[in-house]
Structure 1
Amino acid sequence: SRLANFLEAELFPRHDVVFDIHSGGTSMEHLPTALVERHTDPDRHRRGVELMRALGMPYGFVADNGRASPTSMGAARRAGAIGVSGEFGGGGTATVDTMAITARAIDSLMITLGVVEAPVLAPESKPSTPTRLLSLSRHSQGLYATRRGWFEPAVRLGDGVSDGQLAGWYHDLERLDLAEEALYFAESGIVLSRRLHTICEAGDCLMQVAEPVEG
């Protein structure tokens, strides 16, 4: 709580933009996705979306977490700065691909803000493609474990899926006499994230499906 207070009350107010780099935690793998939170001020919201797109990430989405959002972006907004974030990998790992896309995003943001004139971390990186906007706003877009078990996915990260499509199977290791339980998506979209660990506890997120949006 002391660190959070220092960031929001002391550090963030001294800056125009806060860039928070995430790596999906230790249990989830994510598509490389930029992220901003919705701002009530139209001009600041538009600027946030511009900076998110400037990162050159394949995907991006706007979260609506409210004024009391307990996130770095919410803290930045309350401190008068613009918060930009994203998921740059997952599983608590670093790979050649995730490091490359992170370096390119940092370079692109610094160039857009006028901090540097040319790439510093990845001067030979490939040009990025336009960011595809996604929406993740409903609980039904996620798939969650309801008891202890073993999750076997049926689709890959980044796959396009449909409402009612098979998402995977859930195995009860404490009741081997029971057949596996088929799990189905409740929403159509793109598989944004998936659980890496096979063993799961009640409440664990297994997959998230984001909806492509225009704009």
Structure 2
Amino acid sequence: MHTGIFSDVDLLAEGRHQSWLSIPWSVDRSPYYQIKIPIIRLRRGSGPRLLLMAGNHGDEYEGNIALFQLARQLDTASIQGEITILPMLNAPAVLAGRRRSPLDDGNLNRAFPGDPAGTPTGRLAHFLEHVLMPAHDVVLDLHSGGTSMAHLPTSLIERQGDEAHYRRMLQLMLSLGMPYGFIAENGADAPTSMAAAARAGAIGLSGEFGGGGTVTPETMAATRSAIDNLLLATGVVAEPVLSKTVLRAKTRLLRLTSHAQAIYATRPGWFEPAQLPGDTVERGQVAGYYHDFNRPEEAEQVLTFGVAGVVLSQRLHAMSQSGDCLVQVAVPYDTEHDERNVGMA
């Protein structure tokens, strides 16, 4: 099948292989230009098959750093099964420090199932969903809030597949050991990597590990630990690779259920938050203030939360435009049914 991407990586070969996914895309300075996306693959015998990705969005860096380190430190002799690593998945966006690709303005996490004859973002999405994801059992796609958002560090899954598929997905999400876990319900046809993984028959896992277009010791420790916890939980390794001591928190499950959980700007202005991600808030509590510097005679607008819950994400840039999401509140997930099915304590 022509996918619009070329690669010499053999998914059946034993050992360690490092190469590129190459996407032909003519540009003014180079008519035969190819986008080069690094891919590292290790295989030793039979066992779990993991696809680890970062850089789906180009301004989220915890996953890039951790997966490049993992690729350097992993030894084929220390694994049982297969690990494919894409540490800079949307390479044009990562190298430009942008959420979307500068080549086609594509948002990769809204591009699935993709188009093999389309722009680079569509071709990459098609290759992932139709070639790489079906060759793996588990897909981990690492995210953070990006340049414009602060995000509560959380693991993430979408409710996808049948009950057995969902139970296994929830088990593995809890194994990441994050203090919060977020369950999204985007539907089987969603254009996201998690929905693509489910359509490909794989378990899709994700997470938001930081934000602000930067990293901290805390966000890096959480990211490295989550990766190690997944490798250990699936049995592909016997010892942690990135962490001397892995972090294992009891995960509190959260979700978004309605548009009332978000506050959006409806005009240009400057946002002053009153709470921080992770804060527990009540309905009607002050979420922040919205200022209009062009109308100095007007008092700031008081913004209040529409529901009670936990602040999940918040805009970092004070200057805002109509349509910008200023803050989101997640509500606790009703876990009674899920706890019975996955054997949670």
TM-score range, shorter chain: over 0.9
Q: 3-state SS of the aligned residue for 1:163? A: coil
Distance 1:37 1:129 in 2: 21
- Residue 179 of structure 1 aligns to a residue whose secondary structure is coil
Answer 1 or 2: higher relative contact order, Cα 8 Å, separation at least 6: 1
Supply the distance in 2 between the matched residues of 1:159 and 1:114 (Cα, whole angstroms): 35
> Which one-letter code corresponds to 2:288 in the other structure?
G
Amino acid at match of 2:321: E
> 1:21, CA displacement in angstroms?
0.3
Counterpart check, 1:192 vs 2:335 = no
Pairwise mapping of residues 56-67 of structure 1 onto structure 2 (< 5 A)?
Answer: 56-67=177-188
* Aligned match of 2:154: 33
Q: Counterpart in 1 of 2:323?
A: 203
Q: In structure 2, how many angstroms separate the alpha carbons of the residues matched to 1:132 and 1:123? A: 24
Partners of 2:284 and 2:179 lie apart in 1 by 26
Which of 84, 107, 126 is residue 205 of structure 2 equivalent to?
84
Distance between the aligned counterparts of 2:194 and 2:160, measured in 1? 10
- Please tell me whether residue 141 in structure 1 is matched to residue 241 in structure 2: no
* CA–CA distance in structure 2, aligned partners of residues 124 and 16 of structure 1: 26
Identity %: 58
Counterpart of 1:81 in structure 2: which amino acid?
A
- Deviations 1:121-180 (CA, angstroms, capped at 9, x unpaired): 00234x422000012121110111111100001112211111111111000121111110
1:71 to 180, 187, 192: 192
Q: Which amino acid in 1 is paired with 2:308?
A: S
Aligned residues: 214
Matched position secondary structure for 1:85 = strand
Corresponding residue of 1:170: 290
Q: Are 2:107 and 1:18 equivalent residues in the alignment?
A: no
- Structure 1 gap ranges (5+): none
Quick one: distance in 2 between partners of 1:173 and 1:10?
Answer: 52
| Partners of 2:188 and 2:255 in 1: CA distance | 19
Q: How many angstroms apart in 1 are the aligned matches of 2:277 and 2:163?
A: 33
| SS state at 2:142 partner | strand
Amino acid corresponding to residue 242 of structure 2 in structure 1: L
Aligned partner of 1:47 in structure 2 is 168
SS in 2 for 1:134: strand
Question: Secondary structure of 1:29's partner?
Answer: strand
Q: Secondary structure at the match of 2:248?
A: coil
Give the corresponding residue for 2:21. Answer: none
Structure 1 residue 44, shift from structure 2 partner: 0.4
Alpha-carbon distance between aligned partners in 1 of 2:144 and 2:182, rounded to the nearest angstrom:
16
* Cα RMSD, aligned residues only: 0.9
- Output the CA distance in 2 between the equivalents of 1:11 and 1:92: 28
Shift of 1:26: 1.1
User: Which residue of structure 2 aligns with residue 155 of structure 1?
Assistant: 275
| Cα drift, residue 40 of structure 1 | 3.4
State the one-letter code of the partner of 2:327.
M
Residues 166-212 of structure 1: CA deviation (Å, up to 9, x unaligned): 11100012111111000000000011111111100111111110111
> How many angstroms apart in 2 are the aligned matches of 1:139 and 1:26?
23
**Deviant stretches of 4+, over 4 Å:** none
| Preserved contact between residue 156 and residue 205 of structure 2 (Cα < 8 Å) | yes
Deviation at 1:87, TM superposition (A): 0.1
The alignment partner of 2:204 has SS state of strand
Picking from 183, 199, 221, the partner of 1:100 is: 221
Distance in 2, matches of 1:143 and 1:83, equals 29
Contact 2:161 2:198 in 1 (8 A): no
1:77-102 Cα distance to aligned partner (Å, 9 max, x none):
11110100010000111111111000
User: 1:67/1:213 Cα in 2 relative to 1: closer, same or farther (>3 Å)?
Assistant: closer
Specify the alignment match of 2:105 in structure 1.
Answer: none
2:224 is paired with a residue whose SS is helix
2:232 to 111, 120, 130: 111
